[in-house]
């Protein structure tokens, strides 16, 4: 029987850890091709991830959105001060706070961690290009906050379809806090038609005539979930009251495949790279992508609204 409603799709809990497959590239690629995602248990050092969590919460604290009577690292929002905060561009915070976040060097250095680069080199079997457009999700519970809708990344990224997103939790994120769920095997279904929706990206995939399971997970510090640009995914609702959910989207692709130019700019065009780099030390990260012989492809607005899969 074919499921025709997202409410009818089965839900499974817990990803299979692909870490053992890092020593078997063929098996790793086979699982990636089958499922459209890979999960690595505690791939990244916990102390590094927690250092970045502290810096991100520090930004929220500077804007007065966290309670002062609890530990900073607990990430508990002050319901009174966030009541009038308007989340900007699906980031979960105001534009000014997001700019402050994007100025953090560690936020942009983490996607270059050797363990991430080696993992994608194994997956692609060739040199890797990390996208500089790094996305932070600082999901502060506020009246204007909504979960990220069901979607595929490709329509927002374009370039090669062989882009994989690394979704990394900055702190433990149980399902009740609003972690990410993926629709297993959905990358083989083409690009779904979309409709306008609230939340990050502003578009929701229209799912129909499929029978695939959602996979949910209780994430811990150091975990990494990565998925194909056509893999359908969504965030779960935050059921933990005033707890803040912190995560990121880092993206990677083979260095010899095409990339759309907006992927080389700061997320949301919140500022110019020179603005973000101000105050950084002499860093090897600055404009690192200019050292690559990039193949640029033009943006195609019709991709966002194409009807590659139409419901009967």
The 10s digit of each residue's pLDDT in 36-56 is 999 999 999 999 999 999 999
pLDDT of residue 287: 97
DSSP H/E element including 62? helix 46-62
Q: What is the DSSP letter of 265?
A: S
Residue 86, number of CB atoms within 10 A of its CB: 11
1 pLDDT tier (thresholds 50, 70, 90):
very low
What sign does the dihedral 299-302-308-311 (CA atoms) show? Answer: positive
**In-domain check, residue 169:** yes
Is residue 140 within 8 Å of residue 64, measured between CB atoms? no
DSSP H/E element including 247? strand 245-254
pTM: 0.95
Mean pLDDT of the chain: 93
Distance CA 45, CA 310 (A): 43
Report DSSP letters for 190-220, one per residue: -PBPEEE-SSTTSEEE---S----EEE--B-
Percent over 90 (pLDDT), the chain: 81
| DSSP reduced 3-state for 260 | strand
pLDDT of residue 283: 84
306 pLDDT tier (thresholds 50, 70, 90):
low
Residue range(s) defining the domain that contains residue 196: 6-305
**In-domain check, residue 289:** yes
Distance CA 214, CA 122 (A): 26
pLDDT at 204 over 60: yes
Is residue 28 within 8 Å of residue 122, measured between CB atoms? yes
pLDDT at 174 over 70: yes
**In-domain check, residue 234:** yes
Is residue 140 within 8 Å of residue 98, measured between CB atoms? no
pLDDT of residue 281: 87
pLDDT digits (tens, 9 = 90+) for 270-295: 999 999 999 898 889 999 999 999 99
**In-domain check, residue 50:** yes
pLDDT of residue 3: 42
The closest alpha carbon to 223, from 179, 176, 177, belongs to 179
Q: What is the longest distance spanned by two Cα atoms in the chain?
A: 59
| DSSP reduced 3-state for 253 | strand
pLDDT at 4 over 70: no
CA distances from 184 to 32, 207, 211, 231 (A): 10, 13, 10, 8
pLDDT at 222 over 50: yes
Any residues with CB less than 8 A from the CB of 24 and at least 6 apart, and which? Answer: none
Report strand pairing: 164-169 vs 259-260: unpaired
pLDDT digits (tens, 9 = 90+) for 45-87: 999 999 999 999 999 999 999 999 999 999 999 999 999 998 9
Q: What is the DSSP letter of 80?
A: T
Which of 23-32, 101-110, 136-145 bottoms out in mean pLDDT, i.e. has the lowest?
136-145
302 pLDDT tier (thresholds 50, 70, 90):
confident
CATH, residue 50: 2.60.120.620
pLDDT of residue 308: 65
Distance CA 224, CA 41 (A): 7
Is residue 57 within 8 Å of residue 75, measured between CB atoms? yes
307 pLDDT tier (thresholds 50, 70, 90):
low
pLDDT digits (tens, 9 = 90+) for 90-138: 999 999 999 999 999 999 999 999 999 999 999 999 999 999 999 999 9
Is residue 79 within 8 Å of residue 143, measured between CB atoms? no
Q: How many domains, in total, are found in the chain?
A: 1
Distance CA 165, CA 268 (A): 17
**In-domain check, residue 1:** no
| DSSP reduced 3-state for 276 | helix
**In-domain check, residue 295:** yes
Distance CA 287, CA 79 (A): 39
């Amino acid at each position: 029987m074919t499921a025709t409603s997202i409410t009818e799709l089965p839900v499974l809990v817990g990803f299979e850890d692909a870490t053992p497959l890092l020593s078997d590239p063929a098996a790793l690629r086979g699982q990636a091709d089958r499922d459209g995602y890979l999960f690595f248990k505690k791939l990244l050092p916990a102390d590094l991830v927690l250092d970045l969590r502290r810096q991100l919460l520090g930004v929220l604290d500077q804007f007065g959105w966290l309670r002062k009577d609890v530990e900073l690292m607990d990430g508990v929002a002050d319901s009174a001060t966030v009541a009038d905060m308007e989340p900007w561009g699906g980031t979960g915070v105001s534009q000014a706070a997001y700019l402050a976040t994007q100025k953090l060097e560690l936020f942009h250095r983490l996607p270059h961690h050797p363990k991430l680069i080696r993992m994608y080199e194994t997956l692609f079997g060739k040199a890797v290009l990390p996208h500089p457009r790094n996305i932070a999700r600082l999901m502060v519970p506020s009246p204007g906050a909504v979960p990220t809708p069901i979607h595929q990344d490709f329509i927002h990224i374009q370039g090669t379809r062989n882009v994989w997103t690394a979704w990394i939790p900055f702190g433990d994120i149980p399902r009740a806090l609003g972690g990410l769920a993926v629709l297993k095997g959905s990358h083989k279904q083409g690009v779904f038609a979309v409709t306008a929706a609230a939340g990050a990206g502003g578009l929701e995939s229209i799912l129909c005539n499929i029978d695939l399971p959602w996979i949910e997970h209780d994430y811990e510090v150091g975990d990494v979930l990565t998925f194909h640009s056509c893999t359908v995914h969504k965030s779960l609702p935050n059921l933990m009251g005033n707890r803040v959910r912190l995560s990121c989207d880092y993206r990677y692709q083979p260095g010899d495949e095409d990339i759309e130019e907006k992927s080389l700019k700061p997320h949301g065009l919140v500022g110019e790279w020179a603005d973000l780099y101000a105050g950084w030390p002499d860093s090897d990260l600055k404009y690192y992508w200019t050292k690559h012989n990039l193949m640029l492809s033009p943006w195609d607005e019709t991709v966002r609204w194409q009807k590659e899969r139409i419901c009967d």
